[in-house]
Amino acid sequence: MSHRKRPFAALAGDARGATLPEFGFVLPIFLLLLFGIFDVGQQIYVQSVLQGAIQDAARDSGLESGADQMSAIDQIVKDQMKPVAITNPSYTIKRENYSNFNDVGQPEDFVDKNHNDQYDEGECFTDENGNGIWDDDLGKNGLGGANDVVLYTITLSYDRIFPLWRMLGQSQRTTIEASTTLRNQPFGKQAARVATQVCPT
């Protein structure tokens, strides 16, 4: 009876062949970690290249010839992104101009009748960008003119090259954004901005 138990005891203590199932458990976690590191690294790299490209483009846009070359300048940004190995890219490019740096991202002034610190329909406001409605950003669309401050923003959407998110059942599409604020060259006199008081009825 004791002789019969010995083969089973020896088999229970034999660790040979255990490596393969252990590797099977560890491999998916290892791949997720590895692809995660690669994905984050690539996204940081794409972000830094995009930020550098937009800085160059903003300086070119601020020249007197910038208004006539905006499409060509934007294309240079796209060309600089091609070697970064992004897949299926799409770009949204926006320029907003202001009279000075202090105005960037600021809302239009309004009369806060009910003192709730937010604009409500019907309250009077100062229409600084001339579009007839209150805006939470008083910038005007476009490059502006001489000495204007321009907020130049590029939003880039692309497909990630590493399959991490597909493995997690998520979308491979991601979006990053880069922006810079620079003043146009003083190639002429800065145009006056006419702000009008608007009281909706």
Q: What is the pLDDT of residues 146-173, one digit of tens each?
A: 999 999 999 999 998 888 777 778 888 9
SS (H, E, C) 38-58: HHHHHHHHHHHHHHHHHHHHH
What pLDDT sits at residue 90?
95
Nearest-angstrom CA–CA distance, 154 and 50: 8
Instruction: Count CB neighbours of 184 within 10 A.
Output: 23
In whole angstroms, how far apart are CA 100 and each of 56, 177, 183? 21, 23, 8
Predicted pLDDT of residue 168: 78
| pLDDT the model gives residue 20 | 67
Residues of the chain with pLDDT under 50: 1
What is the predicted pLDDT for the residue at 164? 76
Contacts of 40 (CB under 8 A, 6+ apart): none
Locate all alpha helices (DSSP H) within 128-168, ordered by sequence.
164-167
Task: Record the tokens describing residue 98, joined without a space.
Answer: 């202001």
> Residue 177 in contact with residue 200, Cβ under 8 Å?
no
Domain boundaries, the chain: 17-198
The 10 Å CB-count burial string (b at 16+, else e) for 50-69 is beebbeebbeebbeeebeee
* pLDDT at res. 85: 73
- DSSP strand pairing (140-141 vs 173-183): unpaired
